[in-house]
Amino acid sequence: MNCKAVFFDLDDTLCHAARAWRKAEQEAFDSLMLYSYPGLTELDARRVWESIHQDLFAQLDHHLLKMADVRDLRFQKTLDALGISDLTLADELNKQLSTKRLSYMTLCDGVIDTLTTLRSRYHIGIITNGAADEHPDSQYATAKQLNLFPYIDSFWVSDEIGYRKPETEIFQCALNPIGLQAHEAVFVGDSLSKDIAGANRTGMVSVLIATSSDPPIPTVNDERPDYIIRHLSELNQIV
């Protein structure tokens, strides 16, 4: 393999994002339930929340919204749908969720050692979907909180680029400044539909990190990774 660069997804590839989200989300709903709105149950609130999220992300995928918009609208629209028109409460819950999520974020095992080893030989970058502002719930805030910037050479965020994985444009935006062809770069991620499909369509070498005992099964050819690893340290055997 003529590898000259290794790019990574951020959430649940380099850090435990889903775990941090679940914990912070539960605490936000615990706070909401303390207000004891008549007839409001957590189950009902969560159902509305999930529906609102699906709608907002559908708009995001069609470039009608940015991730920052999704983030800023999620509680406002949820409370509105529940008949609770309270912008102050929506802002409070959003702030709590965002700051708690960031505080609970931790690196996956072996990240720093792997990045340090690879960076001695290759350009190291991150390509991630998400917000690109200074808000606590942004990818820049996450990378800064985890002290990742000293270990990487480039950082690409969908809100900043205008394209989202699996769109090939965001991958190409990362390749162009360093003058590389797609086949000269490896992309590592945990999502078949976003990371692997996008890398494959671009022509990069795709690596799925699957830490669970039952790795996801590709449903289309674009989602078939070139390699599957269980731990980031295994990259040293590939590149």
For residue 107, give the 3-state DSSP assignment. Answer: strand
Q: Dig out the tokens for 5 from the structure.
A: 């660069």
**E strands along the chain, which residues?**
5-8, 123-128, 154-157, 185-189, 205-209, 227-229
What residues contact residue 236 under an 8 Å CB cut-off, 6+ apart? Answer: 114, 117, 118
Q: Where are the domains of the chain?
A: 5-16+106-237, 18-104
What pLDDT is attached to residue 170? 98
What residues contact residue 145 under an 8 Å CB cut-off, 6+ apart? Answer: 102, 103, 105
What pLDDT is attached to residue 39? 86
pLDDT tens for the chain, residues 1 to 239: 789 999 999 999 999 999 999 999 999 999 999 988 888 999 999 999 999 999 999 999 999 999 999 999 999 999 999 999 899 999 999 999 999 999 999 999 999 999 999 999 999 999 999 999 989 999 999 999 999 999 999 999 999 999 999 999 999 999 999 999 999 999 999 999 999 999 999 999 999 999 876 777 788 889 999 999 999 999 999 99
Task: Domain 18-104: state its class.
Answer: mainly alpha
CATH of domain 5-16+106-237: 3.40.50.1000
For residue 181, give the 3-state DSSP assignment. Answer: coil
Q: Is the dihedral of CA 215, 217, 222, 228 positive or negative?
A: positive
- pTM for this structure? 0.94
Q: Dig out the tokens for 38 from the structure.
A: 């008549």
Nearest in space to 59 (alpha carbons), one of 44, 48, 69: 69
Token pair 């805030």 in the structure block, residue: 141
What is the number of residues in the chain? 239
What pLDDT is attached to residue 217? 78
How close are the terminal C-alpha atoms of the chain, in Å? 7
Q: In the beta sheet, which residues pair with residue 206?
A: 187
